[in-house]
Every structure is written in structure tokens, then in C-alpha cells.
Chains A and B, each alone.
Chain A
């Protein structure tokens, strides 16, 4: 066993976005806590990029029940009801935590927390800090984290979870230089976020590679609903290298209007009641349809327009958008934005209980890496709330785990080392493999899906998985392992998409005619565990 760098702790948190940091600051009171992330802590997750807001019921005119219902309807009733209850009930307290810790969210004139309307919700429920809400949350959480005893490990990649055959006991790490290490722990929390990076066009940061899905899956944990990938309706279209960059839903929340190349406000056709503030799955499909039917812009997008809004409103409420576009030569105060759907959020993920327990003992999951909270489609503003509600719960659950002897299985280390050695004899460049995967996923496993395209994608991804990756220096080790993780996730997404023979939430099958609605669907979750997969059949609805 050649690994000399060994650390031990009570709780190991993997991932440093909103859920990871929240989990770590909660866990620290129970014992030594380490937070590991492959980026600089706080910079990696999608939380820091989240613009729109945080849903929480704070007003008398709103109710937890309404938030629950909106989330279930938005999620096409594929959500795990218990998780949604947990989310909606605890979100108000979690925003209050953030306020206690110094959050600088916008306040109304009466000094209560300001809230704005978001898609698919019957009440103005979304708390915000301008259009950099996620950044504000991470800054608040970092202040809290830096004042805590949590040990912060930056730029360390997790290669695999350690297991003693029954429970997870820690992780094998790899630093920037490719040196391996071991962290043993009583409990491990996965808070690694989503995997938008398996698609060519995505809002995700370059760290959104879905490592937690792959790590959990390899450790024997069950995943659900991996086919449910949300395409955010409004991603940037130009310039080419910036395609997919998120244009926040707050733009529509503030009154932005969608028009096709003919100048028609096309949402009238698809959801005349909610218009631009329909749910994301519907708006994305509407835009995709407009483009497919030839009413898109030259660059394959549609127009998102705020030029009718007062300049001051744009400047005060959408400063990040304004500045980003200005840097790309577009003044959104006088010109419309060109937008198209972009891979955004994974509703599926590790199956968890409300205590965030996965199906493997001592392994917990919170945030986007977990599945079930959002069903088939996530409402804007529910993800930031999820990071805090379930991040805290993960910290509590992991913290409360009993301290036990932690054995490290030498054969597992040996297997990992052998595998890494094998990369030196590989043939394929990781960058080439990633590029091929992204194009396959984008072209064949996007908004509109059918069995033929999916089968082709499955075959192509399998081919990539079988091509041994090549590295020439230990410094490329993380890249290779992450690439394998991405392929693993891509495979699961395709598997789920083939299994779910219905259109539900973000998953649309053009080759299936269905007679049921979301509420009467005979299908439950798709599931994936230890190489097996399937879809739940609800017998009583058949």
C-alpha cells in the first residue's frame, strides 16, 4: 500500500457548494470535520453561480402547502413527497440561518425579506440578493466556515469512496500533482452537485461533472431518475465559446418577454396563462419547438427582451446580467438577448431519506447530487433552498454517526493504484473523449428524445467507456478519473431515458404516445444500483 498521506476525521464532506459548506458547518459540532473540494472551496459548485433566488414561505398570504403543491405540480408528481414536505417546511428556517450568519439579501422597505415571483409558483416566494443570490449565499457560508474548526482541503479530487464491505469508511484522494491520499471517516457526505458538463451546452461550471453520482454508484448506492435533466430555457447563444451561460430566470421574473424571429410572443401558444413564467420544462420545449419549426434566430435561438423595462430596474435588479452582456457587446437596456435552452440541473441522483441517508450505510447525500426532491422538473429557487435544508440535515445525520473502528481494505487501495497505473498504457486523450461524449449527449439525449437516438447514444457512450484513457503524467490523473465519472453518468442518463417510456417533466419522448397525465402515470422512479436498473410500476394505476 503506497499511500502515505493519511488523515482521519469524524465527518468527511465532499463538495464545497451551498450544500457541502452547510453540511460541514453543521457537522463540526459533532467532531473533526474535513471539507474536500476539487476547486477552491466555495468557487466550485453551481451555488456561487446561481443568480435568481431561494424559495421560502415567509408571508401570511403564502403557505407551506402551496409551496408543496407548486413543487409537486412543477415536478410532474415524480417528486418524493416526504422530501418535498421537508424542503418546504424547513426552507424558511434555513433562510433565517443565513440571515443570522450575515447574509446580505435584499429587504423590503419594512425590513422584511424581499421576495419576487418565479416560474411555476403562485406566490412571490423567491428571496434574492439582486441577481447574484448564490454568490451571496456562498459568501455568507464561507464567513461561517472560515470561523469554524472545519478543515478545508482545496483542489483535491476524490478518486473513490472507501468501504469495508458494509459501510463507507472514507475516500481515496488525489491532489493537483497527482499524489494520492486517504481520508478515513465515520461518515461521508456527498455534496458534489450535478453533471451539466456531460452536455455540450450547459450552464454548469467546469466542475459540474457529476463525480458524486459515479462515486456513490460505484460504492453501491442506489440512484433514481437520472434521465430527468433540466434544460434551462435561457442560455446564452453567442459567442460560441460562451454558449450555455446562464441567463437567470430573474430576467423573466422581472418582466422579460420571449419572442421568436418573427417577433411573435410565442408563449401565448404554449402556456397562455403563465406565459414566460411557465415552468422551465415547458418554456424550454417551447423555445426548442420554435427553433425546430424555423422561427428561431440565425444562431438557433429566440429573443429575450427587457428593453421595455425602466433602465433603473435593469441596473438595480439585474446587474450581473447587464455587465456580462456588456462584456460581450450587448446592452440589454436597448437590445434583446439571444437565448436557447442549456443543460442546467439534474433532478435525479442518489436516493435519500429525509435524513439524507443513501442506501449505503454512513454515506449521505445533499444538494443536486441527491434525487427525488424536484421530481421531473425543478422550480427556480428550489435548488438553493434544497442546498440549505438538506445540507444541514446531512451535517446532522453524519455528525450523529457513532464513532467506529475504520478499517481500510488494502485490496481496494491496490485496485485503485492498479487502475491508475493502467492509464499510462491507455490510448485516448481525455479531452477528445469528453468532446465526443458532450456532442453525443447534446445531439441524442437532449430536450426531445426517442428510442433510436438513445440507442445510438448508448452504443457510442459504451464505446467511449471501453476506450482506455491515456495520461502521461500523474498531474492528469484527476482529469482521467473525472472523465470516467462523466461517462458513467452519461450512461445512467441514457439508461433512464430508455427506461422511461413516457413524457414526464423534463424528459420528453417523441416516440411514445401516452394516455395518462403526470398524476395518473403508472410509472414511478427509474432506479440504478450495482449494474441493475429499472422503472417502478405503480400496479394500482395500470
Chain B
């Protein structure tokens, strides 16, 4: 098997370099077996960490083709490119993890605390499976843009916070370690070999407790009171989408389906045109669109920033609105709203993203639109809803030229843009560089927050997928 390994010896090399190796392997070999073979048959000084060989100790995390994996569990494939985690490098695949370990909190016990109960244990367990492989630290986009210490550090803060045997103030500690810098992009969950849901089970929980104690960021407090007052996260400055659109949009010909349309605050009040394009796109594809006017904010900004008090009210109003409209399918076109309705609600109707629904039901082929387009995966669509193929299918059908770009958070989520704009800008700057590399003239995405932010950091036109499709239809 041929693989390419990044090598680096600080005593002789200025820069890391790639070396291609060909080694014999057995059937279903793991990446670790390939590394062993390189050491045993080619270069005995090749440095990499390994230990348990069973995914339990977390020693052997490396990046394979860019993504962090445990070398002992990941099956090796011809042509794999193997690099160290994105951490300060010591030699070859060995990185300096000491600074990360130094941030992991320990229990401050010895108090006269109540004994731990089965309920506590059940709550702590999901946060306890971490094997300290630091894949999450390697791939977190917020760390380099802020003083954020990283996902597993927050996981540990919440693990201790939940434990009655610990008597330190983990909320203040978490804030000090950058609690409000996480964009909840969920990249850490994607790369975690133990599937630990740090954003939902630690970050958002810690933020909720911070909020109860009045420790939230001023911008988040302001946003929360705006939502509680108006049911919307955007101040009304001009007539909104819901004020202008009809209650029901009938397609011209045969009715292939009937759906409810959930617009979300950004498309309702800040960038309105894509919403009109979205409903028109549905209508032109034979879909009857019902738009309940009493729908409100989905609550995503509140959940992400820790203001949970008003959530049941929002959930009830939204569910009631669509139940009253009598629809069994609700279409979203904001990735954040879609992810929230899918993951944080228990809805009696199905929630689908507009790209998901169009691909499922089939869509009219649009005319090609000129220009080179790249696609930015919104985190709340890619990881929040597991949708990556469908937007590309639509995009390929309409764009004259489509160029791929690896997914990475743009920095707009998790309340970071409102609470810590300079950090959002730094994350965005990295994304802007990636966009530049593609040579695209336009960015397409399916999230109004990404749309808005990407335009700011790249200066390029950012189009919603619905808008682009409609351009094709109008040709």
C-alpha cells in the first residue's frame, strides 16, 4: 500500500515535508498498522504515538486526508495522506499536547457534598467518555481566533459542574476559558471518536447556567430581551416578509405537495428577497406553500446563548401555528432554524430543508447561470441536519461552473458574531482565504447568517441557493 506521511525533524528540517511510502499490509489494515510497517521496514526513527490499539487510550489521533481519526481504528486506504493533529509539532506525527492537558480541570473535592446519585451519573456519563485524543482541539475553528481553550476543556468543566462532589465554580472558570467563543459549529462532534456532543451537552448547558446568573454577554442579553418582547431576533425596520407575502401560494398547474413555510427572523426582517425566491421556487415546482403569519423566532439564538426561559413559549407558538395550518411538512430555508426545529423541538409534523425537499420530490431543471460558484456548507445544515449532497445537486444543475471547497465554520454562529464580532471576523478571515483559493466569483449557501457574514469577510457576492435557482428559472 502506498501512503504519504508528513515528516518533520526539528533538528534538520525548517518545514515539514511529505514522503511517500510503500509498505506491505494485511487485509483490513488500520492506519496504525501502516505506520508500524513504515517504522519496522523503512525508518526506525519515524515518530508517532500509539498504545492500546483499540480506540480506548486516545494516543494515536492523527489527520488522515485532513480529518482527525484514531489511527488504530481507521481503516487504511491506498493513497491516504497522514499528518499530525493541528497542534504544535514536536517531531513527525508527535505533537505537543502538554498545553492542552494543562487546561483540563480536575475535581475540587473534599467537600461535605451530597453523595452522587444515579441521576447525576446518567447525566455525567455522556461527558465522561472522552479519551483525551485532542481531535476536537485540532479541528476547532474558534481556538486560533480567540482565547477559547477548546471543546474537551468545556466538556470537562460541565462534567465537573454536574457533579455534586465538586465544589468549584465551573461557570466562572468556563467563561474564563472562552465559553462564549464557541460557534457551536459541531465540528468537534464530527471528529470525536466517542461522539461526545460537547456543544449541546456542555457549551449550551454551561451558557444556560451563566445566563441564569446574569453572566451572559451584553449583546446576548439584549438579543434575548428583544426576542421576548417581539418574538423576533431582528428589529423591525421595514415591512417584513410575513407582512408582504400571501397566506397561501398556489402553484400554476398540478399540486404535487402542500407544505408549511418557516421563514426565520433573518429572512423575515433583514434579507427578505431570498425568502420570496424560496417560496416562489417551491411554487414553481408544483408545491402549494402555506405561510402561517403567527409563526415566530425558532429560538435558536436563545438556545445557543443559554436563554432557555422563553423557549417553551416559542416552541408552543410555532407548533400551534403550523398545526393550525394543517400541514404535515414544514420547509425551512435557514439552516439554523431547520436544525433547531429538527433537534430542539418535538414537532407533530416533519421538518425539511428546502434543498432536501426539492431533491426528494424532484425539481424542474433551471437554465445555467453564468459564473464560477463555490458552496459554503452551513454548519447547521451539514452537521446539524446531515445535509451536504442536496445543495450540491441543485447547484450543479444551475451553475455554469461549480468548484468544491472543504467545509469550515465561517464564524457567524453560536452568538459569536453578535457577542464577540472580532472573533467571528477572525474565523471568517480564514474562511475568506479558503474561498479565495477556489477562484469562485460567487459563494452560494443556505443560511442567512453565513450569507451575511461571508459577504462581510470576503467582499464577494453571496447568493442563497433559492435565489440562484430562480435566476435560472427566470432566464
Contact = CB atoms under 8 A, between A and B. Distances in A.
Contacts of B59: 39-40, 43
Contacts of B329: none
Nearest to A134: B56
B27 A240 contact: yes
A25 to B, nearest CB: 11
Interface string B88-126: 001100100110010010111100000111100100110
A135 to B, nearest CB: 6
A107 B124 CA distance: 12
A42 B97 CA distance: 14
Interface in A152-170: 154
A18 interface: no
Contact of A320 (B56, B116, B128): B56
Interface stretch (B38-46, B211-219, B289-297): B38-46
A324 interface: yes
Contact of A106 (B44, B97, B108, B121): B121
From B30, B44, B91, B109, residue with most partner A Cβ within 10 Å:
B44
A66 interface: no
Contact of B53 (A40, A245, A431, A471): A245
B73 A476 contact: no
Nearest to B123: A104
A429 B58 CA distance: 28
B35 to A, nearest CB: 11
Contacts of B27: 239-240
Interface in A470-525: 471-473, 475-476, 479
A105 interface: yes
A176 B125 CA distance: 35
Contacts of B40: 429, 431
B47 A176 contact: yes
Contact of B163 (A102, A129, A238): A102
B124 to A, nearest CB: 5
B221 interface: no
Interface string A325-366: 001100000000000000000000000000000000000000
Contact of A111 (B25, B28, B115): B115
B128 A246 contact: no
B110 to A, nearest CB: 8
B28 A205 contact: no
A484 to B, nearest CB: 16
A239 B26 contact: yes
B28 A241 contact: yes
Contacts of B115: 111
A391 B413 CA distance: 48
A147 B101 CA distance: 12
A100 B30 contact: no
A327 B73 contact: yes
Contacts of B128: 104, 129, 136, 139
A40 B97 contact: yes
A205 B118 contact: no
B45 A475 contact: yes
A48 interface: yes
Contact of B121 (A43, A49, A107): A107
B305 interface: no
Contact of B52 (A49, A108, A471): A49
17 contacts: A39-B49, A48-B57, A107-B116, A111-B116, A111-B118, A129-B128, A135-B131, A205-B52, A206-B52, A206-B53, A241-B29, A241-B30, A241-B33, A242-B30, A245-B54, A246-B54, A472-B45
Interface of B: 25-30, 33, 39-41, 44-45, 47, 49-59, 73, 90-91, 94, 97-98, 101, 104, 106-109, 115-118, 121, 124-125, 128-132, 160, 163, 165-166
Given A100-B165, A328-B28, 5 more contacts: A101-B107, A109-B118, A176-B90, A324-B55, A472-B45
